[in-house]
Amino acid sequence: MTKKSIEKWYSIILPLFPMLILYGFEILPFLTFSDYLLLFFVMAEIIKREYRLVYDKAFVPLIIYLVVQPILLLLFASDQLDFIDAAGTAWKLALYIFGIAILKKNLQKEYFVKTVRFIGVSSTVYGFLQFFLGTYAHISLSPYLPFLPVLRTGLKEQQDSWIAYNWTVRPRAWFSEPSTFAIFLLMALLVEQFVVYRDKRKNVLCLIYVFGIVISHSSTGAFGLIILLLAWMLIYPQDFLYRLPKKIIIVMLLLLPLCAFLLYKSGYVDSFIGHTFVNGLGLSSQSHFIDIQAAMSEGTNVLQFLFGHGMQDVEAGYLPGWIRTYYCLGTIGVLLYAVGFYRVCRRCSRRARIIVLAFIGLNFGTEIMLGVFMLLYMSAALIQDDSCEDGWNENAARCIDIKDAAL
């Protein structure tokens, strides 16, 4: 394969990674198709450069730490450490983050955006069919892609049980969870608003993604939409004041009560409250955060405070990203993540920084910073774009000057 073809295929395949983590070979159950493909592209890049590494240094300290941390815990921690599990998980995460460092220049915006759009639209349509047919016709549509060997089983059975109990079917399309489906659509929404410039299709596509997030019944997706909307209005009010026609703003305001009524009648509001708050007791009893107190109340020595407990299966249960990072990687891990995000913000465009900030915010409710979405979101934020498309591009004025000089 030539250099250009490798870059093209990496740009096409990267958005598929969150779906391909469901598949692999039973002989190596700890590696997924996403891991195999990423290893291939990383090795191809290294060979292409004749084994001279050219990489972004934003996350290099974190990569080194992820490689070394399990060994330090093995040497100095208690016998409770499962080294194989901790090392394998940490090194796989290091591979994802190394992919950001070494492959970010290979990402071609045109192909990446096309694939994100294709997956976003097709998964929303398929997710709607899962929701509608499952909830009202009791027909279950498989969440698995055909002809691929499945590693993570049980998703179809969970969906069938929802139908058997006459519950609302939460669509996941071809992703592992409804929340994962919503997180991908949030990323697609961020790409349309802050990576793609003028495109007549982007408004329609954004509405499709929002629809998919709503039908997923994901509290993370709902919070993400609210935070994104507020951040967008505060940071770029000109998008609303000057870009949106007044007629559209008026129609949106008039439709808000109708949308709220339909959401209430569909059971979405009750599902959101029940999923987010346990018996209405507030944030301290929030269902996804119920294990935080138990995890934080464990006895922690100085070594665990600095280096964590290791990235292994733990009894702490579900912990959101920043808390799980502290629990598994310690204070040093949290600081290295923060430094990496800061460096990425300095390297990416002013508008693309919202993608990084959104990812940071999502990890107060999800743990996607410890998985493949880390590679996807950070790569999207770091897409190189030297085109002179319009005024949205920070380099537009400089590009215009160059064109004038050429004339």
pLDDT at 399: 39
What pLDDT score does 194 carry?
A: 86
CA angle 4, 8, 10 (to 5 degrees): 120
pLDDT at position 266 is: 53
Task: With H, G, I as helix, E, B as strand and everything else as coil, classify residue 277.
Answer: strand
Q: What is the pLDDT along the chain (407 residues), one digit of tens a residue?
A: 676 788 899 999 999 999 999 999 988 888 999 999 999 999 988 888 766 666 778 899 999 999 999 998 888 876 677 888 888 999 999 999 999 988 888 889 999 999 999 999 999 999 999 999 999 999 999 999 999 999 999 899 999 998 988 888 899 999 999 999 999 999 999 998 888 877 677 878 988 999 999 888 888 888 888 878 777 777 666 665 556 666 666 766 676 676 666 555 555 555 555 554 444 444 444 445 566 666 666 667 888 889 988 887 666 667 888 988 998 999 999 999 999 999 999 888 888 888 998 899 888 878 899 999 999 999 999 886 544 343 334 443 343 333 333 33
| Contact criterion met (CB below 8 Å) for 185 and 220 | no
Residue pointed to by tokens 């250009």: 4
Tell me, rounded to whole angstroms, the distance of Cα 13 from its chain centroid: 15
Residue 142: DSSP 8-state: P
Whether residue 344 contacts residue 381, with contact meaning beta carbons closer than 8 Å, is answered with: yes
- Name every residue whose Cβ is closer than 8 Å to that of residue 81 and which is 6 or more positions away in sequence: 73, 74, 309, 310, 312
Task: State how far the Cα of 288 lies from the Cα of 320, in Å rounded to an integer.
Answer: 8
Match 């215009």 to its residue by tokens. 400
What pLDDT was estimated at residue 260?
63
Domain boundaries, the chain: 3-398
Closest among 101, 93, 95, 96 to 329, alpha carbons compared? 93
pLDDT at position 252, please? 63
Specify the pLDDT at position 404: 35
Q: Model's pTM, two decimal places?
A: 0.84
Query: Which residue's structure tokens are 């892609």?
Result: 145
Which tokens in the block code for residue 275?
Answer: 């999923």
- The pair of structure tokens assigned to 304 is 């665990």
**Distance from chain centroid for Cα 271:** 23
> 3-class DSSP state for residue 229?
helix
pLDDT value, residue 106:
84
* C-alpha–C-alpha distance, residues 266 and 260, integer Å: 10
The confidence score (pLDDT) of residue 315 equals 63
Calculate Rg over the CA atoms of the chain: 22
Question: Interior CA angle at 98 toward 92 and 103, to 5°?
Answer: 130
